[in-house]
Chains A and B, each alone.
Chain A
């Protein structure tokens, strides 16, 4: 009995640590992508203004870097509780009800993210299968930027689940005492 419980505990901690690590790594990648977008935009201005040469591909790549950074950064921001929220109801409720509400909103967030992830993956898969490209001279294979949808939403889902388990466990241990 006890051993089984311990194993569960270890699994849970393992899951949470892995998720946290993934979120940190994706946050770093997102930061680097934003930095890359800054430098690439400056390169574009230099090429156009100083060299008076063509800048065909830069804007597109910069936009994809930004979209990618945003989606990859979702889990990182979630981990650091950086997604702004309005906690009027939880403040107004008593402690117990607020916890229950938190568990419920957590579950809602997980569900909605899972739905987005499901259709996001489906969409990415379609783009990949059909070999769609952007309608520009660069003709970027769209599955590359769209890959940030399933990856970013997937990582966000993991982080939401980890956070939710945390809330749930706190609630259970409080109730147990």
Chain B
């Protein structure tokens, strides 16, 4: 199969299949009953088949994933001790990135500008397709079991009606799968989209699906509030994203990622042109836009347009050196990142994700951990070549704050799903940090491994909730005897997220990706020539939080599955979930163990390496911030890998042991520690008071202003409008009385009266006497003759 032909077709079909399921379920869903679920599941499975086909038959035979460039940089870097090697350009100069760009449909053409429904397919997109469709297929099967309550009438025990009874409503089984299908369509469309505008459209579509699914139990006030919160917080981020889009469109005149033809360069080749060895430069159009005053001056002083244009072209390089347009790159990058902050729940917009756990658990597994929230990281990865070092530093700082904050909050949470939600935020922070310090590969790898083990963890927690009908871990305990499959698959998930493994030998998937991130951060620290403040901070926080991760994950596992049951009644009712639910768990746990294994040529790392944006592996220095972003390959050296692996292993083991002592063996008492560090505990339990802070800063002022505006609206604007209406009414009453009744009616009546009087006076002629009529005729005739003869004249006759 020729990849340039078959990849867009196969993946396009994979995108559209869930849309078919959605449309059918919208139109005839309620009539299909549980076949609606089977339809959605079938479609996503077919999409998975399409994705796997495109990976195995259309991608791999044409793109050998054997490692290529690794060997070259190693000796070169090893020779320099802690001195940044000047970017080894020739190695990358003639590289061609393996990506297929094109469009299915051209939406609009405005002169030389155009907008397409396009695709940008590289190994990252293909791998994302396989990952999303695989997890989504598992979750569809799982949901058939998890949501079976909804098949018939459903009694919601969390909604109490005014008469004290529980709300009973028709089941929403088809509707759930309808939303899931729409979500799958949007997510796949987001991954395949070939331009940032199309990305934005699907970005909003996944947002609305998330809104629908969080608010699935719409009668619960907490669910509908959480849905609104998620939607509104995301709007804040998307606002920044729109600004980024505007900068890109108005200065570059294209939204396309890659080149469609040689004459239509995409953003990537504008920002990193091949003639500059794919080094990041400010595009000429952006420079001229920023230096518009100088451009205007040249145009005024030159004789013809041609000379002016050539002079502008000649000056562009000088302007670029003076720094024109650089800040536009920063704004564009920060704007796009803003959207990612909202979607990926990064600081300071992280508050929506924990509340989003009000949705059904399969939704949390698919949307709010594995795929949609990872879309922000995916977009940062996609847009990675466009980010200037200053933006990368912002990304790293935001990621660092997020991962630490969320990890600390997760320690105190007792709701099993909230622990996982904070853990998701924390892991997303890791990805952002990795990308921010220049570790494209590390960030993307963690995106994939995290998707597998986090969806696994969520589905396990769903299985537990299904068994014991509560979210509170304080009411669980000892459940591994009741539900062994769930317990041991969840243990695998915990080990994977903690990065468990035998150092330098083999490990769970998290071992590879988390170590890659830590190595990257460490090399960012170690390769700073001076002023290493940021790097040290990043590394300490990241390594410390890795320990916290292990602690809270095993705290969760021990509290749920180990020890004696805390609530005997719930324990007695607990049961293992049906097969349709635990078989997906086993499938996902296999992937959580082995997805990042790097023993063969065909491995996730090597596949993703093919999609690495051109020129991003080189070391760069910021223009405003004096930091070095070292070559990513430098992180693979022995002197980096060796200490980092040991540190990561040590922190994880420490976290695990602490959890063991507190919750596994219950040797230490967590209550005592809580009282000892009362203030800290309160601080963490209240989630750093972010909700209260935002409530005070934004929500209350907004409500106050809106109440004020309502008052103005009610009193003044309504008064004005009522007054106007009253005036109009009076005016028309006056008009009715005088104009209509007086003039118009009067005129008509007058004519009628005249007609009537005339008729009245003429009626006497009608005597009914036949002989009289004959007389009149005769006399009339005679009279006419007499008159004619009297006035007869030649002139009258003509």
A and B physically associate: no
Chain B residues within 8 Å of A, Cβ to Cβ = none
